[in-house]
Amino acid sequence: MSVLPVLSYPHPLLKEKMPETDPADPRLSAVLEDLRDTMARHPGCVGLAAPQVSHRFRCLVVDVSRSPRAGENHGLLALVNPRILEASQWKVGREGCLSFPDLLANVKRAQKLRVGAWDATGRPLDLACTGFEAVALQHEIDHLDGVLFLDRIRSSKDLFERKRSS
Amino acid sequence: MKTLAALSAVGKDQPGIVAALSKVLFEKGCNLEDSSMTRLKGDFAVLLLISLPPGLGLEGLQKELQTIAGQWGLTFSIRALSPEEASSAGPASLPHTLVVYGVDHPGIVYRVAQEAADLKINITDLRTHVTQGSQAPLYSLVVEIEIPGEAALQALQKRLERLRGELKVEITLNPAEADEL
């Protein structure tokens, strides 16, 4: 088990598109474990993508049940080669990202999502997600394409500095 | 037709500035047609578009504002808009949002704004943030622009591509679509 440092911008890996990952790759289970362990170390973190912890793999973890605003969810998800099959019910919501610790942004995301992927054991998955879980998945899938939440801002009023009490 | 005037004021931030300014305008019978007010570090900046009631000239208002400005330590200016300015809806355009972010260094705003200016692209809103990055401060800039046409849009995309490499920043250009919720 390892908790890895989370890369923050401008690390170049964050802007890179991750290659398709072989679901049978023997290194995969360790990568997913790193993602789970690292996410667990950050309170309030509900998702992490492989490039954020320096792994050049197309996989991610999401667990919105860690948040009080979770809504309906699948608990801990570890997905390999996730792809969005259907997206609907678009809504603007505020997001943060561990790779930009001091910024928040309003981003438009689908509230209803169907995602195809492989699980940690190489089985195909077809997931229907809603609300916060759908939003978290879109944010993490974007990371696998080198797309960061700032790239999705649509108005100058949609970027905020995070106010820290400490 | 009502007289429109543009008023700007800036000064050291303190509670009461907005109340003092809007009180004068209210008492003189002016309407706030549009406004933008914000705090930049320790200073407070006010931009107002006001309409004056019939019979009130700019001079009448100016005197009152002078008194308030003196009391609150504000530097201000006011000017009447010509009827053309007041009614201008602007040419048809393609509204877009430009997001630029990267390691902070001098010249980012200038270079981006100059590319827009060269293509007769109008900037309608601009905000910047400097936040802590992993090694150096991170600069982020969000600009709302009005692009006069398809040719200018394509030219801008080409210029931004070059700028991205030169400035070593990320640049995205998105159409500023209205939200349909």
- The pLDDT tens digits along chain B (181 residues) read 678 999 999 999 999 999 999 999 999 999 999 999 999 999 999 999 999 999 898 998 999 999 999 999 999 999 999 878 877 666 678 999 999 999 999 999 999 999 999 999 999 999 999 998 777 899 999 999 999 999 999 999 999 999 999 999 999 999 987 655 4
List, in order of start, the domains of chain B with CATH numbers. Answer: 3-87 (3.30.70.260), 94-175 (3.30.70.260)
Q: Look at residue A84 and give its three-state secondary structure.
A: strand
With respect to residue A87, please indicate whether it lies within any of the assigned structural domains.
yes
From chain A, pick out residues whose CB is under 8 angstroms from the CB of B180. 90
A1 in a structural domain: no
Where would I find the H helices in B88-149?
108-118
* Cross-chain residue pair A103–B131, CB shorter than 8 Å: yes
Boundaries of domain holding A16: 12-161
Q: Searching chain A, which residue's CA lies closest to the CA of residue B36?
A: A157
Give the Cα separation of B11 and B13 in Å (integer).
6
Beta-sheet pairing, A100-118 with A77-97: antiparallel
Indicate if A133 belongs to the active site.
Answer: no
Residue A54 confidence (pLDDT): 97
Q: Is B125 on the interface with A (CB under 8 A)?
A: yes
ipTM of the complex model: 0.87
d(CA B29, CA A12): 57
Per-residue pLDDT of chain A (166 residues; tens, 9 = 90+): 699 999 999 999 999 999 999 999 999 999 999 999 999 999 999 999 999 999 999 999 999 999 988 899 999 999 999 999 999 999 999 999 999 999 999 999 999 999 999 998 999 999 999 999 999 999 999 999 999 999 999 999 999 998 765 4
Q: Quick check: is A2 in a domain?
A: no
**Cβ distance of B140 and A150 shorter than 8 Å:** yes
Distance from CA of A142 to the nearest CA of B (A): 14
Distance from CA of A127 to the nearest CA of B (A): 24
Domain count, chain A: 1
Task: Tell me, yes or no, whether A19 lies in a domain.
Answer: yes
Give me the percent of chain A exceeding a pLDDT of 90.
92
Q: What's the CA gap between B142 and B161, in Å, rounded?
A: 17
Residue A69's domain is classified under what CATH number?
3.90.45.10
B125/B116 Cα distance (integer angstroms): 13
